[in-house]
Every structure is written in C-alpha cells, then in structure tokens.
Chain A
Amino acid sequence: MTTWLGVDVGGTFSDLVVYDDATGAIRVAKGLTTPAAQDEGVAAIVAAAVPAAQRANAGYFLHGSTVALNALLERKGAVVGLLTTAGFEDVLEIRRGDRDTTYQLVFRPPPPLVPRRLRFGVRERVVADGSIRTPIEEADVAPALAAFRAEGVECIAVIFLHSYANPAHELAAEQALRRLGFKGEISLSHRVSGEYREYERTSTTVVDAYVRPCMSTYLRRLEGRLRDLGFNGSCLVTRSGGGAMSFGEAEERPFEAIISGPVAGAIGAGDLCRQLNIANAVTADVGGTSFDTCLIQDGRPTLKYEGRVMGLPLQTSWIDVRSIGAGGGSLARVDAGLLQVGPESAGASPGPASYGRGGSRPTVTDAAAVLGMLAFGELASGLRLDFAAARAALKPLGPALGLDQDGVARGILQIAAANMANAIRTVTVQTGQDPRDCTLVAFGGAGPLFATLLARELAIREVLVPAHAGNFSALGLLTQDVTQSTARTSLATLDEQGLARANQVFGELLGELHRRGRAAASDGAQAEAALDLRYLGQEYTLAVSVPVAGGAIATSPAEVVTLFHRDYERTFGHTMENPVQILSVRAILRSPLPRRARMRPAAAQVDRKARREIEAFSFTRGRRVPFGVLERGSLPPEEILAGPALLLEETTTTYIDAGFEARVHESGALFLTDREA
C-alpha cells in the first residue's frame, strides 16, 4: 500500500493527482505551468497540495511533460553536430523528397535541425549484411570535431549506413570523439533505433540529440526538487507509445518521451473505456492551449510504430494523438471581416482577460464567461473570473462583425468547437470510424465545457465526462505499467534457422532492455516478443506477438506462420502461399506496477440545497435560458439530471446544454446523453 503522485504538465496548467492505495481516495489539484522552468511549477504544486508526511511515504511519481516537445516546436534544443557516412551528409535535408500535401505546388518544409555546415561525412561503409566494405577512416572525425567546437556543438549524432546490421563503425566514431576529448552527449543511431531506412533513423537520432540536454537538465532538476520535498519513491515519465520509464532511462532515450503529456489522457481514457465496456470512443482533451484527440477502439488508443512531430519522422512507438491549437486560452480576432479563433493562445501568461493577470485580448474562456457557461466564475486555485474584463476584451470585435456581445461570444465558441470537431473527424472518419458510433470522452480543464457542443457538432449521442475530468491526464499517468521496448531489423527467412537467429536477436534485445532498466523496477518484469513478418518480397510487415518462455521465443516456425496467417487474414482478408520472412524483432519488457485498488472518487458531500441558477446561453435554444448550477459532487449515482445545467467541480465546469441529460455512473463518471438527437 502506497501513495501515488501524478503530475501532467500542459501548456497552461499543471495537474496533480494523489492516489492513496489504502483508501482508494483520489485528490486533485491544479497549478499554473511555469513555461521557463517547468520543474518549478511541478514542485510548487506538489509542495502546496501534498502534505509532507504523504510526500515522504509516496512510492511513485509519474510524470507527463512537454519539455522535449516544446524544444522542438520552438526550435530551442541543443546545437547538434552530425556525422554521417561520407556522401550522405545531406540525407537529413533531402528527406524522402515527398510533399506533405498532394496538390500543394509550393512546398516549404522547415529547415533541418542540423544545418549543412554542421554535417560531416566520415569515410566508412558497412553493407546490408553487416560486412565492412570500407574500414572507417577515424582521421575524418578530428576536423569535424574541430568545426563542432568552433560552433559550440553540445551534442553529436552519429549515423552510418546499415549500422543496425553492424554497429562497429558508430562505436568506433564514438570512441574517437571521446579520445579527442568531446565531453557532450553522443547519440549513436543503432542505439536509438535498430530499424533500417537511413532518413528516418537519422531524423530520430538527431531529435534524440537535439532534446537530450534540455530533457536531462529538466529531469535532474525536477528529481532534485522532489527529493528536497522529502519524496523517496521512483520517478517515472510517460512514453509517446504508452507505458512509463524511469527518469534515468528518459535521459538516455528522450526521443521516446516527446509527447508524453497528451498520451497520458489517451491511456487513461482507454483504461476507463475498458472498465465501462465502451467499444469505440474518441477523446476531447481541451486544455488552455491545445486540443488533443485520439481514437480508442476496444479500450486501446490507436498505436503506430512511427511517430511524426513537426514533419519529422521518429522510429518509435507512438500513440496516435492529434493536436490542434484550440483551447480555453485561444485568442479570437477579426481578419478581413471573418472571426478567427486560435491557434495563437494567451497561454498561462498573460492568460485570458478574465483571469486578471494582465491579459486584454479576448479568448475562448472570456467568451464562455460572458455567456454564463462558467457560472459564477469561481475557478480552481481560488481564481475568480473578472467578468467586466472579459466583456471589455470582447467589445472591440463586435462592430467589425456587426454582432452584439452575445453574438460575438457565441461565434467564438462555435468556431472553436467546429475546429475541434474537424480534428475529431480526422481521427475517426479518416480511419473509417463514424464518429457518431463513438462515445466522446471529454476531459481537460475546458473539455467538459465543450462536451455537449462537440457532441451536437458531430452528432454523437453519448458523452463521458470522467471523474476528476480537469486533471484526467494526470490520472491517466497512474494507470500505466512500466514498459521498455526495442526493435532491430534482422532479415531472415522464417524457418528453423531464421527463428533461431531471431531468438538470438531477441535475447540480445532483452539483455539491452535489462541494462537500460537497471534504475526501474525491472524485477519480475515480463518479457514479450513480437516479430515483424511479411511474405517474401513484400515491404510492409505485420507485428505478430509470439509466446515467450524463460526469456526466449518459445514456438516453432510452423506455429509462427499460423499466427501470421491468422493476423494477415484478419487485416487484409486473404492469405498467400509464399514463404514468410522475418524483418525485425521487437522485445518488450513489462513491469506491472503494484496492483492498484479501484480508484474511487470522494463521496458526495455537498448539500443538494446548494442548487443555484444563472441565465446562460443555450446553443440548443439559440438564446439565454435559466441553467441550474450544482456541485458535481452533490449528484448521487444513477439519478438523472436534465439540462440545461452547469456542474461545478474543483478543476473544471461541465456545461450541459438543453436537451441533454446527465447521469452519474457508480464509478463517478458522468454520462451525458442527447435526448433530442
């Protein structure tokens, strides 16, 4: 029995969840993100919301951060130098040559993370079977390093062709750099990714090097602050592909934690859908700055084996969360007679005008406040909304649009909701899933505010607002296992010999994972294996899970072929008689964290008589109508509450438009159902 802490850092707010195994009780808190040094805000919220005794007894700190992502978005990462096989210095810039958009004549990808003057070739050549064709010319490293030093290079990425098949030359280059006295971080491509395709591997390795120092500095500072606060447990951070890893491992493999924040919400939503037997769901995670959405099928967020951030491919597993710049802080403006909302955000500072922190430009939150959607404006952390400031901020937009105050405010909400709905269509309709057959899982500080608007926009009938919706991403952090995974391209025919070779690779990968995981709780870790298989001659593969016993793949080639045919049939509707080939071996080490009792929300404590009323705008009715205003905690399970109503809780407000009715599930989750659909 122990206490768990989860902190998820968003663009505007940082969310804390405290879970006590002994009682099953959950406590939440919210604080402002401190963009310049996220660790300050994280430590401040832990210090403020968790008593010292509980801090000292807590076993786990699970974290979702945007430090690496911000470094990429804002291009504020390390100065990276790149060593490549001579003749391939420009691979990073040539990319694969394709355009992002089919019919876009004028195409300008962002400049490469490493400029051409910091990319140097080394004479060497390994070929596809791993044999050495040209021995490495270590003398080439010195002039490159001299140039790197002159330009203040902090990290060096090394990628040589076919290093997944034989890393000897990359290791030799690393040794040469060390011999020459380079003290900074070195990312070797074969350690970052064992998979072939040099542009994708180069991109991944360069991103790794680019975010390494800021991630490392951040995690060390944060851990130091937590220790200062008396915390003695394990520090873990979420991966882009789900699952947690130790801070130590995240320092080594920061490219795996690029989108750890948004992922936690998707993982938590998946966990909730499994508990509530919801087959298809789509998330609407609305924060201050961004809107994130992810399709969940059979309780699993959509997973890919290649990620992409700012157009850069990353060879790592990746939960498919799509993000757009739309949130409570999104700024509204009039452009050539049209009202536009986002993607620019007022962020945490100065924040919406109604926060009274110096912001004067109108935001989505200001519009919601003016429309009465935030009730009496009593927000988390004791903040009281300044309605006069909100009205003043909206005022200049009216004349330019020929609309009154409510018309402008309503337009801002509708445009923001339509933008969010388009993103949801992207993840649902574009993957063949009709959003109307999904449950909308709304969370984040402003998710429950938009829930019924989005449902109407998408003709979704059922909305789920989880308990602690305002801090749900942080809650999602607590539902993960510690996982580690790695893969290596190792081409072989699927026969006795090929499978034996795959098994040998698997053993090596597991050894690597055990070494990596030394800091995490890897005792009792379960090994899982998957083989990327294809018919001989094909390119794309299916990752097929195969049984493992005693740290080795425990099956026969014939059984693997049967598994492959079963998965192939399910995916493509047919099978072939051609021989099957192994392309890559994947190893996963899963250490389930100690079993958590079912989380329970705090029992209803608020007197129902506390019901109040406010005139707020109803999008269903097209005018202001009286909304009941209640504490969410005052609703007993299974009782039905008809909208229009506003449900208040510590970190969010649920706007229930006319026509919807609310029901609290025994788990504490709130279901909103459209009765007029």
Chain B
Amino acid sequence: MLAVDQVSRIFQGGKAGFKNVNLSLEKGEVVGVLGTSGCGKSTLLRVLSGLDENFEGEIKTEANDPKQAFGMMFQEPRLMPWLNVWENIVFGTGKKDKKQEAFELMKTVGLEGFENHYPKDLSGGMAQRAAIARSLLIRPEILLLDEPFSALDAFTKMQLQDLLLDIFEKHRTTTLLVTHDIDEALYLCDRVIIMRGQPGRIESQITVEAKRPRKRGDSYLAELKQDVLKELDFTKE
C-alpha cells in the first residue's frame, strides 16, 4: 500500500528531521509512530503528505491518482472559520457530487444537527470531529494523523479514539498515526514504530497482537507499555 524507502529529511545542519526511514504499510493497517519530541515524526508526515518536498529517498503508493493518495489530519482542526461545519466538511471536494457521502460521514462523527454552526461555536472536540470527516471525505488511500487529539482533554480524547476505531472498522482506512501518547498508540494501532534521536531514525517496532476493540486497562497493553518505555529510555544513547 505504502512503501517508504530510505527516506531522509534533514534540516538545521543535520540536527533535526529524520534519516534513512524504511516503512511499509499493508492495506487496512493502522500503524503508530511514537517518539520523543524533536525526533522528526511530524516531519515524516509532512514529507509523506507532500507538504515538505525537500526529501531524499523514495515514497511509493498504489494509488491510481497520486493526488488522492494521502489525507491529512493535523493537531489542530484547521477548519476555515468563514465556513460552517457542512461547508468545511465538503471543503476539499468538487461541487456537490459527494453530498450523500458527506452526510453519512457527518452522522458517523456525530455532528448531525450542527451543519450550520461556525467553527467559533464548536468545542475543541467537535471541531476535531469535523476535521476527521473532512479528511475522510476525499477517500484517501492512506490517512495521516498528526497528533490529532493531543490538544483535547482526556475524556474527549477517549471518545474520539473510539470514533476512530469505528471508522477503521467501517472504512478499513490504512492509517499512519503520529502520537506521543503511548496508551493511544497501543489502543489503536496494529503496529507501533518507535523513533529516537536527532535526526530521528527508526529504533524498533512493536506489534500489538490483541484484537480491536481492546480494553484500556488491559494487562497485555500494560506490559507492552513497559517495553515501549524501555525503548524510549532517555538515559540510554
């Protein structure tokens, strides 16, 4: 589905970015990228999404139309403040050809009845729901999520994580999720990639065997969390 071959993007004189990243995603797979701050995980998403074009290496997708390969959801909702919820959701699509689909998506993310609200009237969680719907409407081959819930409170975060699970179930979207929340990565992903260093490289990989939906307090996940923490250990170099 997605093959990333020896991709590097280095700036600030070799001290930031990431180096020699190899990565491949199967169709429908949900892969998490965990890492300390400054290890280039957000840069990786910017490179994949095409927002940052100064990279070395090769990125291959199976998409027929490379323009539709990636959908991106940012840390902030980034809704257009002058458009209401409905107009924001259909923002990236042409004309009205996706009306029915947009309506379904709006129902899925729980924004029914809020079509005519402007972003200023939405809570952080609702704005992020609208952003989820917007990024899904173009039916990307691969959905890139850049710390999507890091600005939300714990309860809203959990609700939206469950919403993502529903969406994975329903649409089988191949997803690459960058996060610094270990619990979030273990709760949502099939596989977790751990990045370290400046510039960052892939340190290791952990496969989460448990089936979704998982229990948040699961002892298996707790063990995995220990492993991840060990991998992320700041004291070792």
B is a partner of A:
no
